Amino acid sequence: MSNPVEAAWLSAIENKLPRTFEIDPNLKLRLVCGTDQAGHPMFCSISSLKPGIPELSDAVDVTRTQRSIDGNWVLLLTLRTTKFTDVFVQLCAHIVDCVSEASSESQGLSAFIAGVEDWRTLLQASPSQRLSLEATRGLFGELWLGFWNLVPDCSARHAMEAWRGPYKSDQDFQFSSGPLIEVKTVHSRARRIQISSENQLHRLSRQYLYICIVSADDVMADTPGAMTVPMLLDKTEKLLEDAGVPHFELTSRLAELRFDRSDDIYAEMYFLPTGVRYFEVRDSFPHIEPSMLPQGLSRVSYALDVAELAPYECDFPQLKLAEIPGKAPSNGS
């Protein structure tokens, strides 16, 4: 953060004056700091892409809203405990440093979340936690679909920019000029998929939203075609490196998921991908919308019977990935 902006911000905080300051108009992601009407320090990003919602302590309110004036999204951090003002300002300065290296708005959002995660991990100092078998299967499915099915119909760079699932976004892949894609990775014998909230299958009127059900069975190591997540990550890293995607894009997402690839347990979890089915979420698709819920009720999870989704099944080309700028020639999926 530049010294003039930081000095003006600290002055506004000290005097409890409601003011806002643009950090640097040259950044790929717009960043604004200041104080709200009550004099509380605040820091936010403004983007055309819908950001994930990072987790912080109870001392900081984290809100995400969409502006009616231009449709842009605001991710707002507001400090409620004044004794942590110095720490909050340092956190925001760290986020600015992270975002300053981004070459696109999408990378800037990733860097914003990663910057918050750096501090949260440091201050909590909690031990790493292993992912469950189902969570590991879910990560496997997102990698396998995103970088070995969607690519090359879209570039590896665009697939990485769209991969928002690790940041707790409502859908796993959110293409800025294309579809929203929610990935459900299940055993091939599964008859239901779980929807985590009323927002997961919510879309705007002009958006296309798809559920992609990846079948990935847990198998023995000597099963032909079987892979572990670390093995799939090795292949994905090479793909991303060849495409010129910065390494931090992948590592920040793995950190957000608390995935420690050096943990030997993941080297013993072999999965065999056996197929993927695509379903378009249209108006008649069975799902719960936020507008359907009584006031005060939220975070509603429910299950969908896969057999009942047959009328909405579609083919890979119908995912409209061709709308994404920089589309590479398709070699099939």
Work out the number of other CB atoms within 10 angstroms of the CB of residue 152: 19
pTM of the model: 0.64
CA angle (28 as vertex; 247, 243 as ends), nearest 5: 30
Helix (H, G, I), strand (E, B) or coil at 166: helix
Measured on CA atoms in the order 147, 150, 156, 162, is the torsion positive or negative? negative
Domain boundaries, the chain: 3-124, 133-323
333 residues of the chain, pLDDT tens digit each = 656 688 889 888 888 888 999 999 999 999 999 998 888 999 999 999 998 888 777 788 899 999 999 999 999 999 987 778 888 888 899 999 999 988 999 999 988 988 888 777 666 544 457 888 899 999 999 999 999 999 888 899 999 999 999 998 999 999 987 899 999 999 998 999 999 999 999 988 788 999 999 999 999 999 999 999 999 999 999 999 999 999 889 999 999 898 998 888 999 999 999 999 999 999 899 999 999 999 888 889 999 999 999 999 999 888 888 655 444 433 333
Tokens 């909590």 sit on residue? 124
Alpha helix (H) residue ranges in the chain: 3-15, 85-99, 105-124, 133-148, 156-162, 229-242, 247-256
Does residue 179 have a cis bond before it (omega within 30 degrees)?
Answer: no
pLDDT in tens, 92-130: 999 999 999 889 999 999 889 888 887 776 665 444 578
Rg over alpha carbons for the chain, rounded to the nearest Å, is 21
Domain at 3-124, CATH class: alpha beta
| CA trace torsion 148, 54, 95, 17 (10° rounding) | 150
Predicted pLDDT at 54: 81
The single-letter code of the amino acid at 285 is: F
